[in-house]
Structure 1
């Protein structure tokens, strides 16, 4: 069959390679160059190799705990059961994971993992190593690649997805397909501060929303706790804290223990909120203290971070460095079954664009690359199977709230007059970010409603990205309003708390 894969991170490339290997004709369509996207930026590793005293069951339990009990048990079981096989496959494709002098895989530990079970490549360059290997594998086989192509829309005929509409060099064209696999990543650029590359504007989820595909859990956005608060956003891996780095306030006190007994190794949502609150209290960024790890170990274990910090005039081996949270990963997305099928026949979704149910309310560190590899392979295996006659059994998504109306929004203002991408990103950061309140969420939703009401038909790629971000902002704010309790990454307060402005 003719398969179009949209996206070229670990999920998309894995799907494409597996689909090709079982005989499908595969075309990869990617927004930038093949291999661009979030995978190449991943400093963390791939969880799934179990040492003495560890097991898939322990990994599953840690995943469920981090997900605040909202992870789907069947999806988590698939993830941990297939993990070692997918890691072995990456090795066979040329990913050189770090090893000890006797040849054993080195296993690292990150926050909320009870054991060291994470493999890395190049210390803190795992994603880049995986992207290089998978791109090389694609280049070696008969897979067509269409790059610099923007996904405009999905083509639906008689209720079945039959292809995509793309924009290349300002020209819109159509690609027909027997199946379309979305692997377009998340929507980090909904927020003023993000670790995601520029192209991460939610294009796949927005396209799926426009054809009525089920989405869920868009209220669950993970903010990485430690991004350099000096210069452009640069992530400082969770593994640094796994090696013994601590978070300290202006007085040198390890303040995260005030929020959780595990301190710096608490789940990401807990650590990120603790940092946000402490930064707001003291009026400045908190600091990450890695000095106890030692200069040689920092350079050996984290060569990329070591280089970037020094390029910015920071000697992290000698003094603590300022850090802040930033939007990092979307746990929700297009709802899929365990084989990547969505609610619309002919449409599959894998990777961050998909809501498999693995992550629940909060993603466990180093499960995202694993999820892309595991479910990418499963989606490819399901491509040749008939679509279930009774439809795909999926969890019911929460309904979107109706537009709130201008009277429900604090602040007022001329309809649409104040819209810009930067204004949307600031709105989301302030009101649909780390700390949320009913008042703030209503203000955000109503403001987006005003912008949507007067938004012109997009003409350029940038305008199409803005339209996608607006659509996702409304869906995320609606989902956050509908979930009135606090759980995982979704944290509601009675009154909005100010966040430190990051410059």
Structure 2
């Protein structure tokens, strides 16, 4: 067995940035797919939130984060992240990120919803994610201390003597391989592929939640799922995104009759927090009135130049956004929950760190502020790198014993579709006790099937979904991205972060299954 090294699971912004910040320490990065094709970071449109303009400040940025997070943001984390933002933007510039600048070379940030200042450092309107990732990928490929292993899907953690010492990952040939490490970082993204309508790539299936929870890690804030209000509703999976920056530029939301419905719902109308806008759009669709993002007046003929990615998605469906409103619908976009971490990115399991959307750091609370996700990825990518580098300078490598690899998993396409249908129908934009109970029972049945078939992929999907649904069932109030029809108000007594284990979620689902069976 080779000497343990540093293992990063995930080829998005958090994973690659962490790997670069660890150089020249040897790092292996596992990516579920080619890194230049399919990470959520690559598709991010808005940019990096950072107080870089005159008159703005980290304190104002933190205050906006607290307001959007609906009462459960960790204030110390929000302030420290905001204060590190400028330095991390400078890091990205150093890695080649081509952020927009004016004629004098100054960064030219844009406005997004719920920000009190123009602080979204972006690239050509809606191209930040792709531009940042292409710059980082090029740098990673030139960095000799980083070994990039693409098309390896992590399925389970390797735990020995209570410590995480690596992962089992399945290659393109279907065989599972053990990757051992002194330090393991999970940066595998979010949970979008658990929902039928999402803006996330297929690899974002909640595997980090399941793997970590199965090993005993603490899961935090799992009920808080953010639905982007303006996914472009043209029947594509994943759904392309109409960036929030469009609304920052003055685009408005209208129904089929041309009425601006957000004016009656919030003082900030289209620039209200995402959860409120998503519910507003959902209500119009549910009532049969349709929902459209109209940028014909605010952007008009300049649309293709200012927002080329959105324009391309619309034109591919026969919609000219410079002259026509864009049909939109809420789609799963970001998970505020994840593996609980401290302010250094350490999970509750020794040897395991988490970064990016796989983690729950306390920054986002119940509702992520626009463009704080890319910021969190680089801030915690940097913190984890520093923490691991400090630890690698002392202590001996753990003594490892070879672990048996899991058996090949069978095809689970039909069951995966069932998970997506259950989550969208019952654990989506609007929730209630009846629907959540139905979801938990159905997911437990699918989980039992995964165990019978020894199918790790389906097991990961169902366990991640169970953690989200159980947390949503237990929070009997509405807050941020979690809205209960049966408890539509926020309860001050519940203004705290949540925590759940996999055993707790399974026991809840089993109890509900037995109760429903007994009532038949």
Q: Shared topology, TM-score over 0.5?
A: yes
- Give the root-mean-square deviation of aligned CA atoms: 1.8
Within 5 A, what are the aligned runs for 1:122-271? 122-142=124-144, 143-168=146-171, 169-232=173-236, 233-271=239-277
Once the two structures are TM-superposed, the CA of residue 209 in structure 1 deviates from its matched residue by 1.1
| Structure 1 unaligned residues grouped into runs of 5+ | 388-416, 497-503
Aligned counterpart, 1:483: 475
Within 5 A, what are the aligned runs for 1:29-428? 29-35=30-36, 36-142=38-144, 143-168=146-171, 169-232=173-236, 233-281=239-287, 283-386=288-391, 420-428=415-423
Maintained 8 Å contact 1:229/1:285: no
1:150-182, Cα deviation, whole Å (9 max, x unpaired): 112111111111111111121112111100001
The separation in 2 between residues aligned to 1:297 and 1:458, in whole angstroms, is: 54
Once the two structures are TM-superposed, the CA of residue 311 in structure 1 deviates from its matched residue by 2.2
Give TM-score scaled by structure 1 length.
0.89
The separation in 1 between residues aligned to 2:99 and 2:186, in whole angstroms, is: 28
Once the two structures are TM-superposed, the CA of residue 192 in structure 1 deviates from its matched residue by 0.9
Aligned counterpart, 2:430: 435
Once the two structures are TM-superposed, the CA of residue 333 in structure 1 deviates from its matched residue by 0.2
Give TM-score scaled by structure 2 length.
0.86
Aligned length: 461
The separation in 2 between residues aligned to 1:104 and 1:66, in whole angstroms, is: 28
The separation in 1 between residues aligned to 2:112 and 2:305, in whole angstroms, is: 18
The separation in 2 between residues aligned to 1:231 and 1:12, in whole angstroms, is: 31
Once the two structures are TM-superposed, the CA of residue 457 in structure 1 deviates from its matched residue by 4.9
The separation in 2 between residues aligned to 1:145 and 1:135, in whole angstroms, is: 10
Structure 2 residue 27 is the aligned partner of structure 1 residue 26 = yes
The separation in 2 between residues aligned to 1:266 and 1:160, in whole angstroms, is: 44
- Per the alignment, in what secondary structure is the counterpart of residue 234 of structure 2? coil
- Per the alignment, in what secondary structure is the counterpart of residue 491 of structure 1? coil
| Structure 2 unaligned residues grouped into runs of 5+ | 393-411, 489-520
- Per the alignment, in what secondary structure is the counterpart of residue 293 of structure 2? strand
The separation in 2 between residues aligned to 1:141 and 1:451, in whole angstroms, is: 43
Once the two structures are TM-superposed, the CA of residue 105 in structure 1 deviates from its matched residue by 1.3
The separation in 1 between residues aligned to 2:47 and 2:135, in whole angstroms, is: 15
Maintained 8 Å contact 1:49/1:107: no
The separation in 2 between residues aligned to 1:49 and 1:57, in whole angstroms, is: 9
1:409-440, Cα deviation, whole Å (9 max, x unpaired): xxxxxxxx997222221111111110000111
- Per the alignment, in what secondary structure is the counterpart of residue 322 of structure 2? coil
Once the two structures are TM-superposed, the CA of residue 456 in structure 1 deviates from its matched residue by 4.1
- Per the alignment, in what secondary structure is the counterpart of residue 216 of structure 2? coil
Once the two structures are TM-superposed, the CA of residue 113 in structure 1 deviates from its matched residue by 0.4
- Per the alignment, in what secondary structure is the counterpart of residue 84 of structure 2? helix
